[in-house]
């Protein structure tokens, strides 16, 4: 082994070790770093427009972009989270105290079922009101204890959340202002063909934008519309159900219908005909149409992935990374497909899309 080869291997070993160490010290704040990068990608075009309008004053343009990002993307999340914590705590309290009698609702639904189904429920031990009430009361108590533990943990980690929030804002400023230079530096350091690096960069950017801007916008719209109709119909804890519909809307083939459809059916079978009809029509023609109309406009074909892969990668990402996984999961899946496409030679001739600037 000659001296040059030894030096190169030593340098590569050192590079690997310091890279692992650097990632290790960043792990406690990976969520803040990830969202700073994602929001930086999302709001970079706005920053470029501000730069043009402000005669090239990049710092002022970046501060303006950061202000817009805070108002339309960050503050609503903080306010909704605070209200949701309060509403879920009240929901568990009402269930535990008996103010919301879930057992009675279930028994009303059971009474209209066919006799064979009722016999099957009786064999499962949920056919009589006393046994059902006992099971639900026990579940409510366990749920209340779990939620109380989560609230206590949330209080303990408030300082960490505040620190992560300001780290995200701080990093977001630099990612918005210097994002293009950072991308060029990273791209130049990657030992791959230039067209392959550009393809992966385009795929990463498009998936982040589609996941954050498109899917999240559709989910928020569907959740808000669902929460509105629940509130108008007098359904308890409408904010909780709105947030639940929003999260389910992020999943292909699932959607908000898994929440509003059973409620509409319950209304219809328990004699609340007009409420059930209104909710069913509203769910199909308003909430459902948002997915059919808004999603193609906001998301389009940016991900270029089948729905089943988006579903699996989203669920897997959320299982590993928590809430951040609804972006990280599809992003990893998209890069996986692109990387194997490059390896198999399906992208030998890469044509850069017209909507991606060549100088990024």
Q: Select from 257, 222, 239 the least CA-distant residue to 87.
A: 239
Distance between CA atoms of 201 and 55, rounded to whole angstroms? 29
Dump pLDDT digits (tens) for 213-233: 777 788 888 889 999 999 999
Q: Is the dihedral of CA 288, 289, 294, 300 positive or negative?
A: positive
Q: Select from 32, 35, 38, 34 the least CA-distant residue to 206.
A: 38
Q: What pLDDT is attached to residue 360?
A: 47
Distance between CA atoms of 18 and 22, rounded to whole angstroms? 6
Mean pLDDT of the residues in the chain: 76
pLDDT at 257 exceeding the cut of 80: yes
Give the largest Cα separation in the chain, rounded: 87
Q: What pLDDT is attached to residue 154?
A: 47
Dump pLDDT digits (tens) for 56-97: 888 999 999 999 988 888 888 788 877 777 777 777 676 666
Q: What pLDDT is attached to residue 133?
A: 55
Q: What pLDDT is attached to residue 105?
A: 63
342: which residues sit within 8 A by CB, 6+ positions away?
196, 199, 200
Planar angle of CA 286, 243, 260, nearest 5 degrees: 45
Q: Is the dihedral of CA 72, 75, 76, 78 positive or negative?
A: positive
Side-chain half-sphere CA neighbours of 300 within 13 A: 9
Residue 301 phi, psi (nearest 5): -110, 30
Would you say 210 and 217 are in contact if contact means Cβ atoms under 8 Å apart?
no
Residue 55 DSSP label:
T
Dump pLDDT digits (tens) for 177-193: 888 888 888 878 777 77
Q: Select from 196, 171, 175, 211 the least CA-distant residue to 41.
A: 175
Would you say 207 and 326 are in contact if contact means Cβ atoms under 8 Å apart?
no
SS3 content of the chain, % helix, strand, coil (to 5): 85, 0, 15
């Amino acid at each position: 082994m000659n001296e040059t080869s030894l030096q190169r291997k030593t340098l590569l070993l050192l590079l690997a070790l310091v890279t692992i160490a650097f990632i290790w010290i960043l792990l406690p704040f990976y969520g803040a770093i990830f969202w700073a990068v994602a929001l930086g990608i999302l709001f970079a075009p706005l920053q470029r427009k501000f730069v043009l309008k402000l005669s090239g004053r990049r710092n002022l343009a970046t501060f303006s972009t950061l202000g817009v990002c805070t108002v339309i993307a960050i503050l609503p999340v903080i306010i909704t989270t605070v209200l949701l914590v309060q509403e879920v705590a009240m929901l568990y309290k009402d269930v535990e105290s008996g103010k919301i009698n879930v057992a009675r609702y279930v028994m009303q639904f059971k009474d209209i079922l066919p006799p064979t189904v009722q016999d099957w429920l009786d064999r499962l031990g949920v056919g009589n009101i006393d046994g059902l009430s006992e099971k639900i009361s026990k579940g409510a108590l366990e749920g209340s204890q779990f939620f109380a533990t989560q609230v206590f943990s949330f209080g303990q980690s408030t300082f960490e959340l505040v620190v992560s929030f300001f780290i995200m804002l701080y990093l977001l400023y630099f990612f918005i202002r210097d994002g293009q230079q950072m991308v060029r530096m990273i791209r130049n350091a990657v030992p791959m063909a230039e067209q392959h690096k550009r393809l992966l960069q385009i795929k990463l950017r498009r998936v982040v934008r589609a996941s954050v801007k498109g899917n999240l916008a559709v989910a928020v719209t569907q959740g808000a519309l669902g929460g509105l109709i629940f509130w108008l119909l007098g359904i308890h804890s409408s904010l909780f159900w709105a947030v639940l519909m929003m999260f389910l809307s992020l999943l292909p083939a699932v959607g908000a219908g898994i929440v509003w459809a059973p409620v509409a059916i319950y209304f219809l079978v328990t004699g609340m005909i007009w409420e059930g009809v209104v909710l069913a029509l509203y769910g199909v023609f308003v909430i459902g149409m948002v997915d059919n109309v808004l999603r193609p406009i906001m998301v389009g074909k940016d991900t270029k992935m089948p729905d089943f892969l988006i579903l699996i990668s989203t669920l897997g990402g959320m299982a590993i990374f928590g809430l951040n996984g609804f972006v990280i999961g599809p992003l990893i899946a998209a890069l996986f497909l692109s990387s194997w496409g490059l390896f198999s030679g399906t992208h030998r001739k890469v044509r850069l899309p017209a909507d991606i600037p060549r100088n990024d």
